[in-house]
């Protein structure tokens, strides 16, 4: 007779954008039977509007899908789609999904203490955890970082890996500590680089390998098996901030693409309920083409 699956209380922290929705669509079906709460960050940085390519990525990752397409899709809550919007995910999996502005403040901390998670996952969450919060779960808080640590700490790690000519992009599962991307590593999964694919495609697909590691760790916790982390070699650490003009010029010079309209539509179609919503595909496709026409990286 097989051992009954031990339920866990899991808090998931991710970003209110396209990649965050894809992350939840991958993880939530695997947590059936667990108690789950989802907290979304909605933080933006002024610099995102000062560099054209950053503004274009923001439009494609957040403004178009989350602020325009998702509300239109949500007008028909009974429509069947392979992937669900944030509202749809809440209904589909009976999970509370809320936006949080300050995870470490009194309200954020109280919210987590009321839920009393056994474990917390951070994946693309744009707020930094302080000890008063990341120490709450009895099994710890874990981050899925879209770069191989310690070499690709910080922001835009997939882009930096592509610029370096890497053959695969790492996705690191590590325990959160008092630093940024400094905690002990549980494991690193890998996404093979496809030179024909765009940066956006690599970004949204990199998380899968790290999420698989997290889900495997949860299965171990259910069996009473604690993960065995290893400390990072800090001498190999390279921390990257948001890329500027020179980085995007170098990206274009290597013949790399920021995004591809066909790839983008391939991702968005997963949220769209078939022919009855063909007009949504037209909206998304026209917007993607418009951005592509103005983006030098998209044409490279």
Q: What is the pLDDT of residues 28-37, one digit of tens each?
A: 999 999 999 9
Q: pTM of the full predicted structure?
A: 0.92
What is the average per-residue pLDDT within 51-70?
A: 94
pLDDT of residue 293: 44
Q: How far is it, in rounded angstroms, from Cα 194 to Cα 162?
A: 10
pLDDT of residue 43: 81
Could you tell me the CA-to-CA distances from 266 to 190, 201, 284, 288, 293 in Å, in that order?
Answer: 22, 10, 11, 12, 18
In this structure, of 41-55, 89-103, 128-142, 219-233, the range with the lowest mean pLDDT score is 41-55
Q: Answer yes or no: are the C-beta atoms of 14 and 73 closer than 8 Å.
A: no
pLDDT at 202 over 70: yes
Q: What is the pLDDT of residues 1-15, one digit of tens each?
A: 556 778 999 999 999
pLDDT of residue 297: 40
Which residue in this structure is represented by tokens 């309209």? 261
Which residue in this structure is represented by tokens 């325990």? 175
Q: Answer yes or no: are the C-beta atoms of 168 and 227 closer than 8 Å.
A: no
Q: Structure tokens of 72?
A: 């239109």
More confident site: 237 or 279: 237
pLDDT at 114 over 80: yes
Q: Answer yes or no: are the C-beta atoms of 87 and 74 closer than 8 Å.
A: yes
Reported in sequence order, the residue ranges of 193-279 that DSSP labels E, i.e. its strands, are: 239-240
Q: Compute the mean pLDDT over every residue in the chain, rounded to the nearest whole number.
A: 91
What is the average per-residue pLDDT within 155-166?
A: 97
């Amino acid at each position: 007779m097989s051992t009954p699956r031990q339920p866990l209380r899991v808090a998931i922290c991710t970003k209110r954008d396209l990649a965050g929705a894809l992350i939840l669509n991958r993880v939530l079906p695997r947590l059936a039977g667990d108690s789950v709460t989802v907290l979304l960050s909605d933080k933006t940085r002024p610099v995102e509007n000062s560099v054209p390519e950053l503004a274009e990525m923001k439009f494609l990752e957040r403004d178009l899908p989350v602020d325009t397409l998702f509300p239109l899709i949500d007008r028909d809550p009974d429509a069947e789609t392979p992937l669900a919007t944030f509202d749809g995910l809440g209904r589909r999996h009976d999970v509370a999904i809320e936006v949080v502005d300050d995870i470490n403040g009194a309200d954020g901390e109280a919210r987590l203490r009321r839920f009393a998670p056994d474990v917390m996952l951070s994946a693309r969450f744009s707020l930094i955890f302080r000890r008063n919060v990341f120490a709450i779960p009895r099994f710890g808080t874990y981050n899925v970082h879209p770069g191989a640590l310690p070499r690709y700490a910080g922001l835009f790690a997939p882009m930096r890996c592509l610029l370096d000519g890497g053959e695969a992009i790492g996705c690191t599962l590590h325990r959160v500590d008092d630093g940024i991307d400094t905690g002990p590593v549980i494991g690193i999964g890998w996404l093979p680089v496809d030179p024909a694919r765009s940066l956006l495609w690599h970004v949204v697909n990199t998380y899968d390998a790290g999420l698989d590691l997290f889900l495997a760790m949860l299965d171990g916790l259910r069996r009473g098996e604690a993960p065995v982390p290893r400390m990072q070699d800090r001498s190999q650490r390279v921390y990257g901030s948001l890329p500027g003009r020179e980085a995007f010029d170098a990206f274009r010079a290597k013949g790399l693409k920021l995004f591809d309209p066909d790839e983008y539509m391939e991702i968005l179609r997963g949220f769209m309920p078939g022919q009855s919503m063909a007009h949504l595909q037209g909206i998304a496709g026209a917007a993607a083409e418009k951005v592509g026409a103005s983006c030098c990286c998209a044409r490279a």
